[in-house]
Homo-oligomer: A and B are copies of this chain.
Amino acid sequence: MTSANPMDHVFALPEEAFAREGVVATYYMECPPDADAWKRAAGLAIGQSIGTWTHVPGLDASMLERHLGQVVALYETPPRELRSQVPQDDRGYVVQIAYPEVNFGPQLPLLMTVLLGNDVSTSAQVKLLDVTVSPELATALAGPRYGIAGIRDRAGVQDRPLLLNVIKPNIGFDAETGAGMFAEAARGGCDIVKDDELLGNTSFSSSIERVSAYKRAAAEVYEETGHTSLYCVNVTDRPDRMLKAARRAVELGADMIMINAVTSGLGALQAAAADPGVSVPILAHYAGASSTIEGLGAGIASPLLLGKLMRLCGADGASFNSPYSVYPLLREKYAETARNMTMKLGAMRPTLPVPGGGVHPATAARIVEDLGKDVMLSVGGAIQGHPGGATAGGRAMRQALDAASAGISLREYSATHSELRTAIDRWGDTAD
Protein backbone atom coordinates (compact mmCIF):
# COMPACT_ATOMS: atom_id res chain seq x y z
CA MET A 1 0.00 0.00 0.00
CA THR A 2 1.64 3.24 -1.04
CA SER A 3 -1.11 5.46 0.37
CA ALA A 4 -3.79 4.44 2.82
CA ASN A 5 -5.27 7.90 2.81
CA PRO A 6 -8.47 7.99 0.81
CA MET A 7 -8.37 11.77 0.88
CA ASP A 8 -5.92 11.41 -1.97
CA HIS A 9 -8.47 9.64 -4.13
CA VAL A 10 -11.91 10.89 -3.12
CA PHE A 11 -13.35 14.10 -4.34
CA ALA A 12 -17.11 14.12 -4.01
CA LEU A 13 -19.82 13.21 -1.56
CA PRO A 14 -22.67 10.98 -2.64
CA GLU A 15 -25.17 13.83 -2.30
CA GLU A 16 -23.18 15.97 -4.66
CA ALA A 17 -22.48 13.12 -7.04
CA PHE A 18 -26.12 12.10 -7.27
CA ALA A 19 -27.27 15.69 -7.69
CA ARG A 20 -24.62 16.45 -10.28
CA GLU A 21 -25.10 16.15 -13.99
CA GLY A 22 -23.89 12.66 -14.88
CA VAL A 23 -24.08 9.08 -13.72
CA VAL A 24 -23.20 7.18 -10.58
CA ALA A 25 -22.09 3.61 -11.22
CA THR A 26 -22.23 1.02 -8.45
CA TYR A 27 -19.75 -1.87 -8.68
CA TYR A 28 -18.95 -4.96 -6.70
CA MET A 29 -15.16 -5.19 -6.45
CA GLU A 30 -12.95 -7.99 -5.19
CA CYS A 31 -9.36 -7.48 -4.04
CA PRO A 32 -6.69 -9.62 -2.44
CA PRO A 33 -6.74 -9.18 1.35
CA ASP A 34 -3.72 -6.86 1.44
CA ALA A 35 -4.71 -4.65 -1.51
CA ASP A 36 -5.56 -0.96 -1.11
CA ALA A 37 -9.22 -1.01 -2.14
CA TRP A 38 -9.55 2.79 -2.12
CA LYS A 39 -6.63 3.08 -4.47
CA ARG A 40 -8.06 0.48 -6.82
CA ALA A 41 -11.42 2.23 -6.83
CA ALA A 42 -9.76 5.58 -7.46
CA GLY A 43 -7.72 3.98 -10.25
CA LEU A 44 -10.96 2.86 -11.84
CA ALA A 45 -12.54 6.31 -11.51
CA ILE A 46 -9.49 8.05 -12.91
CA GLY A 47 -8.69 5.48 -15.59
CA GLN A 48 -12.27 5.51 -16.87
CA SER A 49 -12.42 9.28 -17.05
CA ILE A 50 -9.48 11.57 -17.71
CA GLY A 51 -6.54 9.46 -17.35
CA THR A 52 -3.49 8.50 -15.57
CA TRP A 53 -2.11 8.49 -12.08
CA THR A 54 0.77 10.82 -12.74
CA HIS A 55 0.81 14.34 -14.05
CA VAL A 56 0.95 14.52 -17.82
CA PRO A 57 1.55 17.69 -19.83
CA GLY A 58 -1.64 19.42 -20.92
CA LEU A 59 -3.78 18.16 -18.06
CA ASP A 60 -4.76 21.14 -15.94
CA ALA A 61 -6.95 21.63 -12.90
CA SER A 62 -9.98 22.83 -14.84
CA MET A 63 -9.89 19.69 -16.99
CA LEU A 64 -9.77 17.53 -13.88
CA GLU A 65 -12.64 19.47 -12.33
CA ARG A 66 -14.72 18.97 -15.45
CA HIS A 67 -13.86 15.40 -16.42
CA LEU A 68 -12.48 13.42 -13.51
CA GLY A 69 -14.44 10.42 -12.25
CA GLN A 70 -14.82 10.40 -8.49
CA VAL A 71 -15.14 7.65 -5.91
CA VAL A 72 -18.07 8.63 -3.74
CA ALA A 73 -18.40 5.54 -1.55
CA LEU A 74 -16.61 2.30 -0.76
CA TYR A 75 -18.06 -0.26 1.65
CA GLU A 76 -16.43 -3.56 2.50
CA THR A 77 -18.80 -6.51 2.79
CA PRO A 78 -18.94 -7.82 5.42
CA PRO A 79 -17.86 -4.55 7.06
CA ARG A 80 -14.62 -5.53 8.76
CA GLU A 81 -12.86 -3.31 11.30
CA LEU A 82 -10.06 -5.46 12.74
CA ARG A 83 -6.99 -7.09 11.27
CA SER A 84 -8.06 -10.32 12.94
CA GLN A 85 -11.22 -10.26 10.79
CA VAL A 86 -9.36 -10.19 7.47
CA PRO A 87 -9.75 -13.43 5.49
CA GLN A 88 -7.03 -15.30 3.64
CA ASP A 89 -8.86 -14.97 0.35
CA ASP A 90 -10.31 -12.02 -1.55
CA ARG A 91 -12.32 -9.29 0.16
CA GLY A 92 -15.47 -7.82 -1.42
CA TYR A 93 -16.50 -4.15 -1.66
CA VAL A 94 -19.39 -2.13 -3.00
CA VAL A 95 -17.94 0.92 -4.76
CA GLN A 96 -19.82 3.95 -6.10
CA ILE A 97 -18.17 6.12 -8.72
CA ALA A 98 -19.53 9.31 -10.29
CA TYR A 99 -18.68 10.03 -13.93
CA PRO A 100 -19.34 13.48 -15.44
CA GLU A 101 -21.92 13.41 -18.21
CA VAL A 102 -19.83 15.68 -20.41
CA ASN A 103 -17.49 12.72 -20.94
CA PHE A 104 -20.04 10.69 -22.91
CA GLY A 105 -23.40 12.45 -23.32
CA PRO A 106 -26.47 10.41 -24.22
CA GLN A 107 -24.46 7.84 -26.19
CA LEU A 108 -24.85 4.33 -24.91
CA PRO A 109 -21.81 2.70 -26.50
CA LEU A 110 -19.60 5.45 -25.09
CA LEU A 111 -21.29 5.32 -21.69
CA MET A 112 -20.86 1.53 -21.62
CA THR A 113 -17.19 2.02 -22.51
CA VAL A 114 -16.81 4.31 -19.53
CA LEU A 115 -18.63 1.89 -17.25
CA LEU A 116 -16.90 -1.27 -18.46
CA GLY A 117 -13.71 -0.18 -20.19
CA ASN A 118 -10.13 -1.28 -19.97
CA ASP A 119 -9.46 -0.71 -16.34
CA VAL A 120 -12.56 -2.56 -15.27
CA SER A 121 -11.36 -5.71 -16.93
CA THR A 122 -7.72 -5.31 -16.05
CA SER A 123 -6.69 -3.30 -13.00
CA ALA A 124 -9.82 -3.87 -10.93
CA GLN A 125 -12.06 -6.92 -10.70
CA VAL A 126 -15.57 -5.51 -10.75
CA LYS A 127 -19.14 -6.40 -11.58
CA LEU A 128 -21.36 -3.48 -12.57
CA LEU A 129 -24.45 -3.57 -10.33
CA ASP A 130 -26.30 -0.37 -11.05
CA VAL A 131 -26.18 2.96 -12.85
CA THR A 132 -28.17 6.00 -11.84
CA VAL A 133 -28.56 8.85 -14.32
CA SER A 134 -29.21 12.52 -13.81
CA PRO A 135 -32.63 13.89 -14.78
CA GLU A 136 -30.87 15.72 -17.64
CA LEU A 137 -29.33 12.52 -18.99
CA ALA A 138 -32.60 10.63 -18.57
CA THR A 139 -34.29 13.34 -20.63
CA ALA A 140 -31.60 13.14 -23.29
CA LEU A 141 -31.77 9.34 -23.43
CA ALA A 142 -35.57 9.67 -23.71
CA GLY A 143 -36.37 6.03 -22.96
CA PRO A 144 -39.39 4.26 -24.48
CA ARG A 145 -41.36 6.17 -27.10
CA TYR A 146 -44.51 4.10 -26.53
CA GLY A 147 -43.98 2.15 -23.34
CA ILE A 148 -46.61 0.02 -21.64
CA ALA A 149 -49.50 2.30 -22.58
CA GLY A 150 -48.45 2.37 -26.22
CA ILE A 151 -48.33 -1.41 -26.46
CA ARG A 152 -51.65 -1.77 -24.64
CA ASP A 153 -53.32 0.75 -26.95
CA ARG A 154 -52.13 -1.11 -30.04
CA ALA A 155 -53.25 -4.45 -28.62
CA GLY A 156 -56.55 -3.01 -27.42
CA VAL A 157 -56.02 -4.59 -23.99
CA GLN A 158 -56.07 -2.40 -20.89
CA ASP A 159 -56.94 -4.46 -17.89
CA ARG A 160 -55.18 -7.79 -17.97
CA PRO A 161 -51.73 -9.25 -18.60
CA LEU A 162 -50.84 -9.50 -22.28
CA LEU A 163 -50.11 -12.76 -24.06
CA LEU A 164 -47.18 -12.97 -26.47
CA ASN A 165 -46.65 -16.08 -28.57
CA VAL A 166 -43.20 -17.01 -29.82
CA ILE A 167 -43.79 -19.15 -32.90
CA LYS A 168 -42.34 -22.65 -32.43
CA PRO A 169 -40.58 -24.39 -34.10
CA ASN A 170 -38.35 -21.39 -34.19
CA ILE A 171 -36.56 -21.53 -37.57
CA GLY A 172 -36.31 -23.55 -40.74
CA PHE A 173 -39.57 -22.59 -42.47
CA ASP A 174 -40.47 -19.98 -45.05
CA ALA A 175 -42.77 -16.99 -44.58
CA GLU A 176 -45.86 -18.72 -45.97
CA THR A 177 -45.46 -21.69 -43.62
CA GLY A 178 -44.90 -19.28 -40.77
CA ALA A 179 -48.07 -17.42 -41.69
CA GLY A 180 -50.07 -20.59 -41.12
CA MET A 181 -48.55 -20.96 -37.67
CA PHE A 182 -49.27 -17.30 -37.00
CA ALA A 183 -52.94 -17.87 -37.90
CA GLU A 184 -53.25 -20.84 -35.55
CA ALA A 185 -51.92 -18.81 -32.65
CA ALA A 186 -54.05 -15.81 -33.59
CA ARG A 187 -57.20 -17.95 -33.51
CA GLY A 188 -56.31 -18.85 -29.93
CA GLY A 189 -56.51 -15.19 -28.90
CA CYS A 190 -52.82 -14.35 -28.56
CA ASP A 191 -52.42 -10.57 -28.33
CA ILE A 192 -49.10 -10.44 -30.10
CA VAL A 193 -47.26 -13.12 -32.06
CA LYS A 194 -43.54 -12.78 -32.59
CA ASP A 195 -40.57 -14.47 -34.18
CA ASP A 196 -38.11 -16.48 -32.12
CA GLU A 197 -34.88 -14.66 -31.40
CA LEU A 198 -33.09 -17.15 -33.63
CA LEU A 199 -35.27 -16.28 -36.64
CA GLY A 200 -33.74 -13.16 -38.10
CA ASN A 201 -33.52 -11.50 -41.45
CA THR A 202 -32.25 -14.55 -43.32
CA SER A 203 -32.11 -16.05 -46.78
CA PHE A 204 -34.79 -18.64 -46.05
CA SER A 205 -37.12 -16.12 -44.45
CA SER A 206 -36.59 -12.39 -44.66
CA SER A 207 -38.14 -10.07 -42.11
CA ILE A 208 -39.94 -8.21 -44.88
CA GLU A 209 -41.46 -11.35 -46.41
CA ARG A 210 -42.78 -12.35 -43.02
CA VAL A 211 -44.47 -9.02 -42.39
CA SER A 212 -46.46 -9.25 -45.61
CA ALA A 213 -47.43 -12.89 -45.10
CA TYR A 214 -48.22 -12.67 -41.38
CA LYS A 215 -50.24 -9.49 -41.67
CA ARG A 216 -52.34 -11.17 -44.36
CA ALA A 217 -52.89 -14.09 -41.98
CA ALA A 218 -53.83 -11.69 -39.19
CA ALA A 219 -56.43 -10.06 -41.44
CA GLU A 220 -57.91 -13.44 -42.35
CA VAL A 221 -58.21 -14.49 -38.72
CA TYR A 222 -59.86 -11.16 -37.92
CA GLU A 223 -62.46 -11.88 -40.63
CA GLU A 224 -63.13 -15.29 -39.06
CA THR A 225 -63.05 -14.40 -35.36
CA GLY A 226 -63.14 -10.64 -34.85
CA HIS A 227 -59.79 -10.88 -33.00
CA THR A 228 -56.59 -9.30 -34.28
CA SER A 229 -53.18 -10.56 -33.24
CA LEU A 230 -50.38 -8.07 -33.68
CA TYR A 231 -47.15 -9.16 -35.33
CA CYS A 232 -43.75 -8.40 -33.83
CA VAL A 233 -41.05 -9.05 -36.41
CA ASN A 234 -37.45 -9.81 -35.51
CA VAL A 235 -35.29 -7.41 -37.54
CA THR A 236 -31.97 -8.23 -35.81
CA ASP A 237 -29.15 -7.69 -38.31
CA ARG A 238 -26.12 -5.49 -38.87
CA PRO A 239 -27.34 -2.09 -37.54
CA ASP A 240 -27.57 -0.33 -40.91
CA ARG A 241 -29.51 -3.22 -42.39
CA MET A 242 -31.58 -3.63 -39.24
CA LEU A 243 -32.72 0.00 -39.37
CA LYS A 244 -33.55 -0.31 -43.06
CA ALA A 245 -35.49 -3.52 -42.48
CA ALA A 246 -37.27 -2.00 -39.49
CA ARG A 247 -38.41 1.05 -41.47
CA ARG A 248 -39.62 -1.12 -44.34
CA ALA A 249 -41.38 -3.50 -41.94
CA VAL A 250 -43.24 -0.57 -40.44
CA GLU A 251 -44.26 0.64 -43.90
CA LEU A 252 -45.65 -2.83 -44.62
CA GLY A 253 -47.68 -2.86 -41.43
CA ALA A 254 -45.52 -4.54 -38.78
CA ASP A 255 -47.08 -3.76 -35.40
CA MET A 256 -43.86 -4.09 -33.40
CA ILE A 257 -40.25 -4.89 -34.09
CA MET A 258 -37.93 -7.08 -32.06
CA ILE A 259 -34.19 -6.52 -31.69
CA ASN A 260 -31.81 -8.94 -29.98
CA ALA A 261 -30.42 -6.03 -28.01
CA VAL A 262 -27.63 -7.73 -26.08
CA THR A 263 -26.05 -9.23 -29.17
CA SER A 264 -26.82 -6.21 -31.39
CA GLY A 265 -25.53 -3.76 -28.83
CA LEU A 266 -27.44 -1.23 -26.80
CA GLY A 267 -26.54 1.47 -29.32
CA ALA A 268 -28.47 -0.35 -32.03
CA LEU A 269 -31.54 -0.47 -29.82
CA GLN A 270 -31.10 3.22 -29.09
CA ALA A 271 -30.79 4.03 -32.79
CA ALA A 272 -34.01 2.18 -33.63
CA ALA A 273 -35.87 3.85 -30.77
CA ALA A 274 -34.78 7.25 -32.04
CA ASP A 275 -35.51 6.57 -35.73
CA PRO A 276 -38.57 8.48 -36.96
CA GLY A 277 -39.23 5.71 -39.49
CA VAL A 278 -39.46 3.06 -36.77
CA SER A 279 -42.80 4.31 -35.51
CA VAL A 280 -43.90 1.16 -33.67
CA PRO A 281 -43.07 -0.22 -30.22
CA ILE A 282 -39.79 -2.10 -29.87
CA LEU A 283 -39.33 -5.36 -28.03
CA ALA A 284 -35.76 -5.86 -26.79
CA HIS A 285 -34.68 -9.49 -26.46
CA TYR A 286 -32.13 -10.60 -23.85
CA ALA A 287 -30.52 -13.50 -25.74
CA GLY A 288 -26.83 -13.72 -24.93
CA ALA A 289 -27.13 -12.02 -21.55
CA SER A 290 -26.18 -15.06 -19.48
CA SER A 291 -22.56 -14.66 -20.54
CA THR A 292 -22.57 -11.19 -19.00
CA ILE A 293 -24.72 -11.54 -15.91
CA GLU A 294 -23.61 -14.77 -14.24
CA GLY A 295 -20.21 -13.73 -12.96
CA LEU A 296 -19.86 -12.93 -9.28
CA GLY A 297 -16.82 -10.72 -9.78
CA ALA A 298 -17.29 -9.53 -13.37
CA GLY A 299 -19.98 -8.57 -15.85
CA ILE A 300 -23.24 -6.69 -15.41
CA ALA A 301 -26.05 -7.53 -12.98
CA SER A 302 -29.22 -8.66 -14.76
CA PRO A 303 -31.57 -6.02 -13.27
CA LEU A 304 -29.30 -3.35 -14.71
CA LEU A 305 -28.62 -4.87 -18.14
CA LEU A 306 -32.05 -6.33 -18.85
CA GLY A 307 -34.13 -3.81 -16.91
CA LYS A 308 -32.72 -0.36 -16.55
CA LEU A 309 -30.39 -0.16 -19.55
CA MET A 310 -32.99 -1.56 -21.95
CA ARG A 311 -35.42 1.06 -20.72
CA LEU A 312 -32.92 3.91 -20.95
CA CYS A 313 -32.18 2.79 -24.52
CA GLY A 314 -35.84 2.99 -25.49
CA ALA A 315 -37.20 -0.57 -25.27
CA ASP A 316 -41.00 -0.40 -25.09
CA GLY A 317 -41.03 -4.01 -23.96
CA ALA A 318 -38.09 -6.11 -22.82
CA SER A 319 -37.82 -9.84 -22.34
CA PHE A 320 -36.02 -11.66 -19.55
CA ASN A 321 -35.96 -15.06 -17.92
CA SER A 322 -38.63 -16.28 -15.60
CA PRO A 323 -37.21 -18.05 -12.55
CA TYR A 324 -39.83 -20.80 -13.09
CA SER A 325 -37.84 -22.43 -15.86
CA VAL A 326 -34.86 -24.66 -16.39
CA TYR A 327 -32.61 -21.60 -16.09
CA PRO A 328 -31.88 -21.33 -12.37
CA LEU A 329 -32.24 -17.54 -12.14
CA LEU A 330 -32.78 -16.15 -8.65
CA ARG A 331 -36.35 -15.01 -8.19
CA GLU A 332 -35.24 -11.65 -6.78
CA LYS A 333 -33.21 -10.90 -9.91
CA TYR A 334 -36.27 -11.29 -12.10
CA ALA A 335 -38.30 -9.14 -9.71
CA GLU A 336 -35.58 -6.46 -9.66
CA THR A 337 -35.40 -6.53 -13.46
CA ALA A 338 -39.15 -5.90 -13.67
CA ARG A 339 -38.84 -3.15 -11.07
CA ASN A 340 -36.21 -1.34 -13.10
CA MET A 341 -38.56 -1.37 -16.08
CA THR A 342 -41.54 0.05 -14.25
CA MET A 343 -40.40 2.14 -11.30
CA LYS A 344 -40.57 5.92 -11.36
CA LEU A 345 -37.64 7.27 -13.36
CA GLY A 346 -38.22 10.98 -13.79
CA ALA A 347 -40.72 11.42 -16.61
CA MET A 348 -39.48 8.35 -18.50
CA ARG A 349 -42.17 5.94 -19.69
CA PRO A 350 -42.12 2.44 -18.22
CA THR A 351 -41.01 -0.57 -20.25
CA LEU A 352 -43.35 -3.56 -20.40
CA PRO A 353 -41.81 -6.56 -18.58
CA VAL A 354 -41.87 -9.63 -20.85
CA PRO A 355 -40.83 -12.68 -18.80
CA GLY A 356 -40.37 -15.94 -20.65
CA GLY A 357 -38.68 -19.31 -20.68
CA GLY A 358 -40.79 -22.45 -20.28
CA VAL A 359 -43.92 -20.48 -19.36
CA HIS A 360 -47.10 -22.60 -19.07
CA PRO A 361 -50.43 -21.75 -17.38
CA ALA A 362 -49.28 -22.37 -13.80
CA THR A 363 -46.04 -20.42 -14.16
CA ALA A 364 -47.92 -17.61 -15.90
CA ALA A 365 -50.32 -17.37 -12.97
CA ARG A 366 -47.40 -17.25 -10.56
CA ILE A 367 -45.67 -14.51 -12.57
CA VAL A 368 -48.82 -12.38 -12.55
CA GLU A 369 -48.98 -12.90 -8.79
CA ASP A 370 -45.34 -11.76 -8.49
CA LEU A 371 -45.29 -8.85 -10.93
CA GLY A 372 -48.89 -7.72 -11.32
CA LYS A 373 -50.98 -7.23 -14.44
CA ASP A 374 -48.63 -4.88 -16.31
CA VAL A 375 -46.71 -7.74 -17.81
CA MET A 376 -46.63 -9.66 -21.10
CA LEU A 377 -46.09 -13.41 -20.88
CA SER A 378 -43.81 -14.76 -23.56
CA VAL A 379 -45.02 -18.28 -24.39
CA GLY A 380 -43.78 -20.70 -27.02
CA GLY A 381 -43.95 -24.43 -26.30
CA ALA A 382 -47.05 -24.25 -24.12
CA ILE A 383 -48.98 -22.78 -27.06
CA GLN A 384 -47.64 -24.68 -30.08
CA GLY A 385 -47.07 -27.76 -27.90
CA HIS A 386 -50.58 -27.88 -26.40
CA PRO A 387 -52.12 -31.32 -27.01
CA GLY A 388 -55.02 -29.62 -28.81
CA GLY A 389 -52.78 -27.49 -31.05
CA ALA A 390 -51.74 -23.83 -31.03
CA THR A 391 -55.26 -22.43 -31.05
CA ALA A 392 -56.17 -24.47 -27.98
CA GLY A 393 -52.78 -23.51 -26.50
CA GLY A 394 -53.50 -19.81 -26.95
CA ARG A 395 -56.91 -20.24 -25.36
CA ALA A 396 -55.45 -22.15 -22.42
CA MET A 397 -52.98 -19.34 -21.77
CA ARG A 398 -55.65 -16.63 -22.04
CA GLN A 399 -57.79 -18.61 -19.61
CA ALA A 400 -54.86 -18.90 -17.24
CA LEU A 401 -54.29 -15.13 -17.35
CA ASP A 402 -57.99 -14.43 -16.85
CA ALA A 403 -58.01 -16.72 -13.80
CA ALA A 404 -54.83 -15.15 -12.40
CA SER A 405 -56.18 -11.63 -12.92
CA ALA A 406 -59.38 -12.55 -11.13
CA GLY A 407 -57.55 -14.30 -8.30
CA ILE A 408 -59.17 -17.64 -9.09
CA SER A 409 -57.13 -20.84 -8.82
CA LEU A 410 -56.28 -22.55 -12.10
CA ARG A 411 -57.72 -25.82 -10.85
CA GLU A 412 -61.06 -24.17 -10.12
CA TYR A 413 -61.12 -22.20 -13.38
CA SER A 414 -60.23 -25.29 -15.41
CA ALA A 415 -63.47 -26.97 -14.34
CA THR A 416 -65.27 -24.81 -16.90
CA HIS A 417 -62.39 -24.20 -19.36
CA SER A 418 -61.31 -27.35 -21.14
CA GLU A 419 -58.20 -26.01 -22.91
CA LEU A 420 -56.80 -24.88 -19.56
CA ARG A 421 -57.69 -28.25 -18.02
CA THR A 422 -55.77 -30.06 -20.74
CA ALA A 423 -52.76 -27.76 -20.19
CA ILE A 424 -52.57 -28.19 -16.43
CA ASP A 425 -53.07 -31.93 -16.78
CA ARG A 426 -49.98 -31.81 -19.00
CA TRP A 427 -47.75 -29.30 -17.17
CA GLY A 428 -49.20 -29.16 -13.65
CA ASP A 429 -50.96 -26.41 -11.75
CA THR A 430 -48.09 -25.07 -9.66
CA ALA A 431 -45.01 -23.08 -10.60
CA ASP A 432 -42.52 -25.06 -8.55
Out of B3, B11, B19, B345, name the residue touching A370 (CB < 8 Å).
B3
Tell me if A296 is interfacial: C-beta within 8 Å of chain B: yes
Q: Which residues between 1 and 18 of chain A lie within 8 Å of chain B, taking CB atoms?
A: 1, 3-7, 10-18
B328 lies within 8 A of A5 (CB):
no
Return the CB mask of A323-365 against B: 1 if under 8 Å, else 0.
1000011111111101100111100000000000000000000
Assuming the contacts A4-B335, A14-B132, A37-B332, asked whether A94 and B81 have C-beta atoms less than 8 A apart, the reply is no
A370 lies within 8 A of B4 (CB):
yes
Q: Which residues between 48 and 91 of chain A lie within 8 Å of chain B, taking CB atoms?
A: 73-75, 77-86
A83 lies within 8 A of B370 (CB):
no
A135 lies within 8 A of B81 (CB):
no
A330 lies within 8 A of B80 (CB):
yes
A residues contacting the other copy or chain, number (CB 8 A):
70
A1 lies within 8 A of B135 (CB):
no
Tell me if A390 is interfacial: C-beta within 8 Å of chain B: no
Tell me if A372 is interfacial: C-beta within 8 Å of chain B: yes
Chain B residues contacting A134 (CB-CB under 8 Å) are 15
Tell me if A146 is interfacial: C-beta within 8 Å of chain B: no
Tell me if A249 is interfacial: C-beta within 8 Å of chain B: no
Chain B residues contacting A130 (CB-CB under 8 Å) are 73, 75
Chain B residues contacting A74 (CB-CB under 8 Å) are 336
Out of B15, B38, B336, name the residue touching A133 (CB < 8 Å).
B15
Tell me if A36 is interfacial: C-beta within 8 Å of chain B: yes
Shortest C-beta distance, A337 to chain B (Å), equals 10
Shortest C-beta distance, A75 to chain B (Å), equals 5
